[in-house]
Amino acid sequence: MRKLSLLFAGALMGASAMSLVYGAPGSAANAAGSETYKQLAIFGDIFERVRANYVTPPDDKSLVENAINGMLASLDPHSSYMNAEQAQDMRVQTKGEFGGLGIEVTMENDLVKVITPIDDTPAAKAGVLAGDYIAKIDGEEVRGLTLNDAVEKMRGPVNTPIKLTILRQGADKPIELTVVRDIIKVKAVKYRVENDIGYMKITSFTEKTYDDLENAIENIKKQVPNDKLKGYVLDLRLNPGGLLDQAVSVSDAFLKRGEIVSTRGRDPKDVTRFDAKPKQVDDIGGKPMIVLVNGGSASASEIVAGALQDLRRVTVVGTQSFGKGSVQTIIPLGENGALRLTTALYYTPSGKSIQGKGITPDIKVDQPLPPDLQGRDLTRGESDLKGHIKGADESSTGSGSAAYVPPDPKDDLQLIYAEQLLRGEKTDPSFPPNPDKAVLNQ
């Protein structure tokens, strides 16, 4: 059975997630020519004929939304229309906090299964445990609901109660729990200390990512004396992207100077450059760092990996990244939702576009699939998406690679290799990188 995992923020952005830049409502558009208006008249005629003659009465709103999305889908896979509800979900995802219970869930056997309760949240305090099955929500059977429907029912205003009926292994009868919703803050950065190495995993780029990263660095420094700390691993695998400004801030944390990324729009003069703030020392004191990427590393995570790689601040280990090098602008449409439109491509400091190409690791380390996944195609890449924008450096090889990370670090060959490099147990010409050999756009 295929399992889908969601946080109560709703589905976090998928592998084709986009970097986000918020635009202003009512952006100016060029006036269309007379031929264009003739085509629009054809659309109006067809719309009316469908409304009048289709075998069952169609929903007008649905017809219009699907027509709009059809137009946008013909442009590229990342441009789309979001109705008011979808636009609100997107804002919740990028904000990184929401009113809910605080559990990560999946759908299994037609029931909502709790993967894990988040520490110090209403669900954890009420006694919800990993492995619990939620059978009813406020007395309504979960069977027959989609995972999104169930998540939507469990989200809600802060300080409002919700009753969960839980099936738990070992319990002889269903357990009734009342949970009071609260503000849930999703950690965008998970971290731990591996003896003498600081490990940081960025799961997505929300409004809280940079703050979470700084907190992780501070806590790692407290746990390991500076003279004992060999370096850091920054794990960007399975990171689908998110906010462009957060990618810039994260990159800046590890740089003393230099260009991070530039974006270029339709007009050749429409170029925006983002640079690191000049400083004497970066936020990790110049310690060595390895960045991990795979086919699940997309968009904002590729901005970070590309900047740090081009400026020779880090060594990138893993497999080819997803290759999403486009920027989407979110244009609010008031009560009608928002338009997500591809408005630019981004370029690494060397001036290269990773659109349809991806970030090529300095050291390729493949991660074998477990027996239960062998034979499945887990490769993810922008170049495989129908209608994707052809990248300037895209080749027949394309972009992407397997998007798989073992749940147990003991089986994680890419992470093990990175730690061995940092400890000097393995050597490679690309580690440590030489900043004097930074590859810059001339």
Which residues, in sequence order, are CB contacts of 9 under 8 Å at separation 6+? 92, 93, 96, 97, 98, 100, 184, 186
Catalytic pick from 76, 89, 310, 412? 310
Q: Does 350 participate in catalysis according to the annotation?
A: no
Q: CA-CA distance, 41 to 70, in Å (whole number)?
A: 17
If you search the block for the tokens 């992470």, which residue do you land on? 415
3-state SS assignment for residue 376 = coil
E strand or H helix that includes residue 114 = strand 111-117
Rounded-to-integer distance, Cα 10 and Cα 22, Å: 20
E-strand ranges in 159-314 read 161-167, 175-180, 182-185, 189-194, 197-202, 231-235, 259-264, 271-275, 289-293
Strands 271-275 and 289-293: unpaired
Q: Contact 243/300 with Cβ under 8 angstroms?
A: yes
SS3 state at 106:
strand
Six-digit token string for 119 = 């520490």
Residues pairing with 261 in the sheet: 274
- Contact partners, residue 54, CB within 8 Å, separation at least 6: none
Q: Which of 324, 352, 362, 412 is catalytic?
A: 324
Cα-based distances in Å from 186 to 95, 118, 369: 9, 9, 29
Sheet containing 231-235, strands listed edge to edge, beginning at the edge strand earlier in sequence: 189-194, 197-202, 231-235, 289-293, 315-318, 363-364
Q: Which of 16, 251, 299, 399 is catalytic?
A: 299
C-alpha torsion 433→435→440→442, nearest 10: -140
Which residues lie below 8 Å from residue 218, measured CB to CB, with a gap of 6+?
none
Give yes or no: 299 in active site: yes
Residue 310 falls in the annotated catalytic set: yes
Q: What is the DSSP string of 187-200?
A: -SEEEEEETTEEEE
Distance between CA atoms of residues 284 and 282, nearest Å = 6
Q: Which residues are tagged catalytic?
A: 299, 310, 324
